[in-house]
Amino acid sequence: MAAPARGQGRLRLFCFPYAGSGTRAFRGWAEELPDDVEVYGIQLPGRDDRLAERPMDDVSAVLDELVPALEPYVDGPFAFFGHSMGALLCWETARSARSAYGVLPSHVFVSGCQPPPLIGDRTRSGDAAPVLGDAELIERMRTLGGTPEEVLQDAGLMSVVLPAFRGDSTMLARYRYAPGEPLPCPLTVFGGDRDARAAPEELVGWAELVKEAPDVCVLPGGHFFLHTERKRLLAEISARLGSAHPPRHV
């Protein structure tokens, strides 16, 4: 499930994509991060080279597949980065890896995402995940702003993209946060100063999920600041990875 983007390095950085996306969201990252960082993209079913597979629509099902697949790769220093839905998945993967294998990331980077308890509260009011039609999903993608209009208008392309986005949207709607012990690993929270999906004032809530206060870094831009402010984002990640320590066994 993890597609390597470069050869051996001092530290492995696993990157979790936002809803409907795949590893292409992190194309070119390896060239802009330190040479000794080995970049991996987490490839979920239903996109890119896993297009023929049925997309998943439940966080627990993703973790059941992903965490064992990561086991051979967490025998040395590693870190997690996730944007939007990917931030939620990387956080839950860190919790599950700690529980299953007793290891912690050297650093966790969450980006453009409300704290998991807020996501659970937001979706708790409905008993079942809403079933959205294609037009509603396309309008949701348009509102998020991460998909070019020419792609949204291309029926052929959208027939390929929509199944994964529908599965991811259902996954988020079904998500319920399960309280647990705060993780004792460094956490950096990235946000966009105009991000309506994860407003800067909401990001401080991540502090409740770690033992040491996270550092919050707000960049210019909306929800997809990871693309519009890519160079600055990668510079901030690089600076923090430079001081990353080996994972602790707990």
pLDDT digits (tens, 9 = 90+) for 98-148: 999 999 999 999 999 999 999 866 544 444 445 567 777 777 777 776 677
Distance between CA atoms of 16 and 171, rounded to whole angstroms? Answer: 15
Which residues fall within 8 angstroms of residue 11, CB to CB, at 6 or more apart? 36, 37, 38, 76, 77, 78, 79, 106, 241, 244
Among 2, 131, 144, 113, CA closest to 62: 2
More confident residue, 94 or 19: 94
Q: What is the pLDDT of residue 127?
A: 42
pTM: 0.87
Residue 44 has pLDDT above 50, yes or no: yes
DSSP annotation of 48: G
Q: What is the pLDDT of residue 111?
A: 97
* Tokens, residue 2: 């993890």
**Where is average pLDDT lowest: 55-59, 91-95, 118-122?**
118-122
Q: Which residues are catalytic?
A: 84
For 76, 90, 166, the CA distances from 111, given in Å and listed in that order, are 24, 10, 21
> pLDDT tens digit string along 165-201?
788 888 998 999 999 999 999 999 999 999 988 999 9
Q: What is the pLDDT of residue 141?
A: 73
Rank 36-45, 128-137, 236-245 by mean pLDDT and report only the highest: 36-45
Rank 48-57, 155-164, 205-214 by mean pLDDT and report only the highest: 205-214
The dihedral through the CA atoms of 102, 106, 112, 115 has a sign that is positive
More confident residue, 83 or 141: 83
- Residue ranges of alpha helices (H) inside the chain are 29-32, 59-70, 85-101, 116-123, 134-144, 149-152, 155-174, 225-228, 230-241
Q: What is the pLDDT of residue 242?
A: 81
Q: What is the pLDDT of residue 123?
A: 46
Residue 233 has pLDDT above 70, yes or no: yes
More confident residue, 46 or 128: 46
* Tokens, residue 44: 């979920």
